[in-house]
């Protein structure tokens, strides 16, 4: 269980140059970031490299975190996700795109999710869940593939075997509908 208030304190102490707080921050959060990086990058060596980059960045930029940017773990996960996206843009040509049916299931309602997993999520997960279910199948699939695999429009088009323009509109309509639903 990751305590948001404690992580916020640790980030503040890290920003002030406290190496012990930084170590504690690493111990409390690195497994979450590493899980994300392995899932997105698919290779342990890349994930380790990226994890290292992330925490160097956190050490240097901890002062840019503010609670109004969101929960501290969300902020850390975002740092990791953007790092993964940047790496994928550079390295993706080396990664083989999964064949139809090979990739992990993207079914959204995930019964295997433990309460502990839930504890690291930001507020409004139930709402997001409901809103995702309200999307059309292609829209939902496009959004989830982009989020978990870091696919660009082009990669989505290839993966979903659909024209680029069609895929772009699935993503955009999906995001618009999500927003309408989240704000309703």
Residue 98 interacts with another protein (CB under 8 A): yes or no: no
Binds another protein (CB under 8 A): choice among 77, 83, 139, 177: 77
CB of 56 to another protein, least distance (A): 6
Length reported for the chain: 184
Stretch that binds another protein, among 3-11, 113-121, 133-141, 158-166 (CB under 8 A): 113-121
What is the three-class DSSP state of 148?
helix
Yes or no: say if 46 and 91 are a contact pair by the CB < 8 Å rule: yes
Residue 55 interacts with another protein (CB under 8 A): yes or no: yes
Binds another protein (CB under 8 A): choice among 8, 13, 24, 32: 32
CB of 160 to another protein, least distance (A): 12
Rounded to whole angstroms, what are the CA distances from 137 to 80, 87, 132, 140, 167?
A: 28, 29, 10, 5, 12
Residue 135 CA to residue 141 CA, distance in Å, equals 9
Binding mask 119-148 for another protein (x = CB under 8 A): -xxxxxx-xxx-------------xx-xxx
Interface of this chain with another protein, residues 34 to 53, rule: CB under 8 A: 34-36, 38-39, 45-49, 51-52
Residue 156 interacts with another protein (CB under 8 A): yes or no: yes
| Tokens matching residue 168 | 């772009």
- CA geometry: angle at 68 spanning 23 and 3, to 5°? 40
DSSP H helices in the chain = 4-15, 19-41, 44-61, 72-91, 115-119, 125-133, 137-149, 153-160, 164-183
Residue 89 CA to residue 152 CA, distance in Å, equals 9
Task: Please give the residue ranges that form the binding site for another protein (CB under 8 A).
Answer: 19, 22-23, 26, 30-32, 34-36, 38-39, 45-49, 51-52, 55-56, 59, 68-71, 74-75, 77-78, 81, 85-86, 89-90, 110, 113, 117-118, 120-125, 127-129, 143-144, 146-148, 150-154, 156, 171-172, 175-176, 178-179, 182
């Amino acid at each position: 269980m990751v305590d948001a208030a404690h992580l916020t304190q640790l980030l503040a102490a890290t920003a002030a140059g406290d190496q012990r707080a930084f170590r504690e921050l690493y111990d409390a959060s690195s497994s979450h970031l590493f899980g994300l990086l392995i899932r997105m990058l698919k290779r342990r060596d890349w994930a380790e490299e990226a994890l290292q980059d992330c925490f160097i960045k956190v050490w240097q930029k901890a002062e840019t975190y503010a609670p109004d940017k969101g929960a501290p773990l969300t902020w850390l996960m975002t740092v990791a996700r953007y790092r993964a996206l940047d790496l994928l843009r550079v390295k993706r040509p080396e990664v083989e795109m999964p064949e139809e049916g090979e990739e992990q299931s993207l079914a959204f309602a995930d019964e295997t999710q433990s309460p502990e997993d839930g504890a690291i999520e930001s507020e409004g997960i139930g709402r997001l869940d409901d809103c995702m279910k309200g999307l059309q199948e292609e829209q939902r699939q496009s959004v989830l593939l982009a989020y978990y695999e870091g696919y660009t429009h082009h990669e989505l088009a290839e993966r979903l075997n659909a024209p680029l323009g069609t895929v772009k509109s699935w993503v955009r309509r999906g995001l618009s509908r999500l927003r309408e639903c989240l704000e309703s």
